Amino acid sequence: MNEAAIQRPLLVAIIVPVYNGGPGLTCCLSALVAARNSVPHELIVVDNGSTDGSVAIASGFGARVLHCPGPSGPGAARNAGAAATDADILVFVDADVVVSPDAVSKLVAHFHKDSGVAAVFGSYDDSPRAENFLSQYKNLLHHVTHQQGNRDARTFWGGCGAVLKKIFDELGGFDQRRYPKPSIEDIELGFRLHSGGYRIVLDPSIQVKHLKEWRMGSLLRADIFYRAIPWAQLILERQGLVNDLNLKTSQRISAGLVGGILVLVPAALLHLAIWFLIIGLLGVFLALNRDLFAFFLRRKGLLFAAATVPMHMLYFFYSAATFTVMWGWHVARARNAVKRMKQTG
């Protein structure tokens, strides 16, 4: 494939979906306009029904502003932006991220170097803007997950990712009907890209700064209802888990360890010896996640790293619990379908 690398310059369109972007949109667009120095591109901002000054901010940066009835989700907004351009490469950037100076040029370079590449994405950097504990934990966790991910990916990320328009159009873009809210529409697109035999590259050197400030309520709501539930449904429908990113074998074992610890705690209140077993399971959990906790220690210090241990255990608990519930629902629905077929047959 490298010998057949594309020679001519490719036209690039950067598409930013926004809903009440606020000051973060200003930071986002400032970085994207600066990126024109290295990669000429068309900047398209798709307003998803904002009620603040997002449209005026986008216009002030010379962006081409489109309107998508909303709020109808980033999938619909990205699709609208893609339909409005004849560019060869679609670069998707979320309105709450700030790209590094070389992020866009690195994304585009992959398509010039290798004509076999259909999509490329990067990761968050290691210095999130919001300073509260949950924002630092969540955004740094995302950073480490993508830094350690397989370079030949089976997923896609719409926060900072690019895809060839002809392939995007061929696959029908993001599934905006199934995902009318911010969800896993980018992951699902990645599944279809990989299933279609297209190559997706994860380049961890392509980084953006996340501006989002997480609070416990917003984090749990997003992780459970907008990610864990639809992701579990997608996995069960496709009937397979991949050993990558959040689904690595070590992650699944960690979830099992957390479940085992929680089951044993009530018994440990009655039998002191069980605490030794719990301590042993906790030790295995720490060992499996040692690289993550070591990163937290280097980056943020001992107190922060120590605080992330129970938070990370909570993350595994609600993720595994959600998947278990969805698995039970999936099995029950399949059995009911078989039962109805037998009754009608």
pTM: 0.90
Q: What sign has the CA pseudo-torsion 58, 172, 200, 249?
A: positive
Question: What is the chain's pLDDT, residue by residue, as a tens digit (345 residues)?
Answer: 444 444 567 899 999 999 999 999 999 999 999 998 888 899 999 999 899 999 999 999 999 999 998 778 999 999 999 999 999 999 999 999 999 999 999 999 999 999 999 999 999 999 999 999 999 999 999 999 999 989 999 999 999 999 999 999 999 999 999 999 999 999 999 999 999 999 999 999 999 999 999 999 999 999 999 999 999 898 888 756 555 556 678 888 999 999 999 999 999 988 989 999 999 999 999 999 999 999 999 999 999 999 999 999 999 999 999 989 998 988 888 788 777 777 776
The pLDDT value recorded for residue 274 is 95
Residues of the chain within CATH 3.90.550.10 domain(s) are 2-212
Residue of 87, 86, 97, 85 lying closest to 121 (CA atoms)? 97
Token readout for 37 is 């120095």
Token readout for 156 is 């896609």
Specify whether the CB–CB gap between 228 and 319 falls below 8 A: yes
Tell me whether the omega of the peptide bond preceding residue 180 falls within 30 degrees of 0, making it cis: no
- CATH code that applies to domain 2-212: 3.90.550.10
What is the chain's alpha carbon radius of gyration, rounded to the nearest angstrom?
22
Token readout for 326 is 């969805």
- Measured CA to CA, the distance from residue 103 to residue 274 in angstroms comes to 51
Q: Return the amino acid letter for 251.
A: Q
Q: How many CA atoms lie within 13 A of 327 on its CB side?
A: 10
The pLDDT value recorded for residue 247 is 66
The pLDDT value recorded for residue 337 is 75
The pLDDT value recorded for residue 239 is 59
- Measured CA to CA, the distance from residue 119 to residue 76 in angstroms comes to 19
The pLDDT value recorded for residue 109 is 95
CA distances from 3 to 8, 74, 114, 162, 201 (A): 14, 36, 8, 22, 18
> Which DSSP state fits 176?
T
Place of tokens 């929680």: 262
- Measured CA to CA, the distance from residue 289 to residue 26 in angstroms comes to 37
Mode of pairing for the β-strands spanning 199-210 and 97-99: antiparallel
The pLDDT value recorded for residue 315 is 96
> Which DSSP state fits 269?
T
Distance from chain centroid for Cα 246: 10
The pLDDT value recorded for residue 334 is 78
Question: Could you tell me which residues come within 8 angstroms of residue 64 by beta carbon, excluding any fewer than 6 positions away?
Answer: 42, 43, 44, 45, 84
The pLDDT value recorded for residue 65 is 97
